[in-house]
A and B are shown apart, each in its own frame.
Chain A
């Protein structure tokens, strides 16, 4: 598995925001794109994930496992997204949240088993019917990662995923996330403004 950006440029109106940017992320590797706020790093992730605001113009290509993603709709790109907020759907239970991304063909009994296993892995066994609003910050962050992993992504995109966590929690959640990424060998693109969160190869934006 690999994720590659080739000559990616982003512009708003006629103003060049970013690029041209070339980078490649190998399986199990993390590449960090660092930049201050307004440098276009979140816009870059939106472009890669296929959710670029139409106000922006983009050039270049994104390849996943060598396949060009240009024109592929967001839901078929199989790129898992993690934001600074866990964004667990507030109208669904914790279990329903985790099951949301499990591919359609999986039979019901197996879906349930996968959710249970993921919850156990996140130290939250038996949390299926819980209201996501009742989870602690660390639990919600772990549940969000598990939801992404259950969707069987081919790569991960992390948008300042630890920015909202307090210092004590941060190290633990970070370790939890990167351990899982390493275990599954997922290519991971991380954007942040915080040097402390940087991981692996670091690319700096102007």
Chain B
């Protein structure tokens, strides 16, 4: 039996992934054509196009699509540019070591926490304006301009860039060893190319195929983001995904039908933009051909731009994230904090004591759902990676493509269908449904984090152990798992952070009766009570940070007397 478990896990995982996404997309398309499951069935062949006509007749639809496009494309382009600048420019410098260390805490902070923090930092009555007023700005009252949210969606773009840049840096760093980037750059520099030119010529073309899916996932996310947009994007009109969520939550069936059509439009929009991006890649690759083999023209400014460019890209990302969380943490313990004081005039724990009771329930849900989804994800990912009868690399590639599916299809595009299916099964509004919804997004990240280290584990460890008489179970528990303890716990921390940050799956599948810190924080954003928001942002950021701290501390403590386990950190 033990021998067949991994194979079962693989099949189960693939079904678990393909089925909800495909069923969800279908379950969204059908209502958009007037076929409401559970409702009066129109005979096939007499499809109802009313939802689509309603949708296309909605005033401001074009402007909504425009905001979505601007936020999605701008945030992706900027994040990618900054991530490339950091990875290429900081190569082999202390900035790289520093960036690596900052990655985990930066990834840990949920999108919504960053968005809420930025909303305060950037607001006319916010921290930045306070620090500069009135001595530099001359303002004695907060100026009457809209900065967060602003009419163009730039604040939302900034929040996304701050969150996605570290993610792309992580993906790049994971991909670089596979293309032997360090030696390639050294060779190119030996031939006279400057650091950035060398990286762009010999590493970028080879690393691009490895980070294409992560970049497209960032693109899909930015084009269809809801939680960040609810906090920072313009409301008249809102981005398409926000409007769609509003329609889908409407009590009136006709408006839900229009929402389903909107969700399908959102998916089509993402597919179209990805198509354009894919075409753009080909054009860039063609145009860059002569440049790739052009001789070196190393200029001094480029040499200097490398490190300083990386620093200029990395520092604001880190400072804005830290500033966003710290500002809201400060608000949660602020007594009175009038404009334009840079610091609260009094600190007190009153907000905490008064609201602890209200926070306890969402906090509990966040923790239990997060732990359950993460535990399931780690077990399934380990099962897929251990599945026998196939070369490991092959397995990871195959599963990797499918596991990316929930990250490439916009959440609003299929979660409504999943919810409809859950309702038909009588599972909507249950804790298990929320956990399953989270698992859909936790598992890909856990799998992708774990796949590299698992693939790099020397297969001879297992052979040596088997030669000493250890069966598959003993090899797994006594050899494979201890050797991979660090990456396994790190992947679990990533998974937990992803779960804590989920908004739409909680909202849709929880039917409003399982609020988490994230859904509560978004709901509170409109009210504008910065103290209560501060409590939520602090807890939202603290939970994943605690997870990452444990993931680093536990193996370090367990293996404190084993030097070989430290050398083994960066892959073997």
* A→B interface (CB under 8 Å): 46, 49-51, 53-55, 73-81, 83, 85, 87-91, 100-101, 103, 131-134, 147-148, 151, 153, 157
Contact = CB atoms under 8 A, between A and B. Distances in A.
Contacts of A74: 463, 466-467
Given A55-B391, A100-B470, A46 B463 contact: yes
A85 to B, nearest CB: 8
A51 to B, nearest CB: 5
Contacts of B388: 54
A157 to B, nearest CB: 8
Given A89-B479, A91-B559, A133-B562, A83 B460 contact: yes
Given A87-B460, A134-B563, 8 more contacts: A46-B463, A87-B458, A87-B461, A89-B479, A89-B483, A131-B561, A133-B567, A157-B467
B463 A51 contact: yes
B568 interface: yes
B564 interface: yes
B468 interface: yes
B179 to A, nearest CB: 23
B286 interface: no
A90 B565 contact: yes
B390 interface: yes
Contacts of B474: 75
B469 A81 contact: no
Interface of B: 388-391, 458-472, 474-475, 478-479, 482-483, 485, 559, 561-565, 567-568
A79 B461 contact: no
B480 to A, nearest CB: 11
A101 B463 contact: no
B463 A75 contact: no
A122 B385 CA distance: 38
A115 to B, nearest CB: 13
Nearest to A132: B564
A190 to B, nearest CB: 15
Contact of B471 (A51, A75, A131): A75
B465 to A, nearest CB: 7
Contact of A73 (B459, B465, B471): B471
From B391, B467, B475, B568, name the one whose CB has the most chain A CB atoms within 10 angstroms: B467
A51 B467 CA distance: 10
A40 to B, nearest CB: 17
A53 B391 contact: yes
B433 to A, nearest CB: 38
B568 A151 contact: no
Contacts of B559: 91
B564 A131 contact: yes
A75 B563 contact: no
B562 A91 contact: yes
A50 B464 CA distance: 11
A49 B467 contact: yes
Contact of B467 (A89, A90, A91, A148): A148
Contact of A103 (B461, B464, B469, B561): B469
Nearest to A83: B460
30 contacts: A49-B466, A50-B466, A51-B459, A51-B463, A54-B389, A55-B391, A73-B471, A74-B463, A79-B467, A80-B468, A81-B463, A83-B464, A85-B460, A87-B460, A87-B461, A87-B464, A89-B482, A90-B565, A90-B567, A91-B482, A101-B467, A101-B468, A101-B469, A103-B469, A131-B564, A132-B564, A133-B562, A134-B563, A148-B467, A151-B468
A46 B463 CA distance: 8
Contacts of B471: 73, 75
A15 B101 CA distance: 47
Contacts of B475: 75
A106 to B, nearest CB: 12
Contacts of A73: 466, 471-472
A89 B390 CA distance: 25
A53 B389 CA distance: 8
Contacts of A85: 460
A91 B483 contact: yes
A89 B479 CA distance: 7
B389 A89 contact: no
Contacts of B567: 90, 133
Contacts of A81: 463-464, 467
Contacts of B390: 54
Most chain A beta-carbon neighbours within 10 Å: one of B459, B466, B478: B466
A90 B462 CA distance: 13
A56 B464 CA distance: 20
B389 to A, nearest CB: 5
B572 to A, nearest CB: 9
Nearest to B461: A87
Contact of B469 (A53, A75, A91): A75
B565 to A, nearest CB: 5
A90 B464 CA distance: 13
Contacts of A51: 459, 462-463, 466
B391 A78 contact: no
Contacts of A54: 388-391
A148 B461 CA distance: 13
A78 B469 contact: yes
Per CB-CB distance, the 8 closest pairs between chain A and chain B, nearest first, are A90-B564, A101-B468, A133-B564, A133-B563, A74-B466, A81-B467, A91-B482, A151-B468
Nearest to A86: B464
Contacts of B564: 88, 90-91, 131-133
Contacts of A134: 563
Nearest to A78: B469
A24 B258 CA distance: 77
A100 B391 contact: no
A199 B189 CA distance: 47
A75 B483 CA distance: 19
Given A131-B562, A131-B563, A80 B467 contact: yes
Contacts of B562: 90-91, 131-133
Contacts of B563: 90, 131, 133-134
B57 to A, nearest CB: 58
B95 to A, nearest CB: 30
B468 A147 contact: yes
Most chain B beta carbons < 10 A, residue from A46, A80, A89: A89
B391 A148 contact: no
Contacts of A53: 391
Given A81-B464, A101-B468, A133-B563, A90 B389 contact: no
A55 B389 CA distance: 9
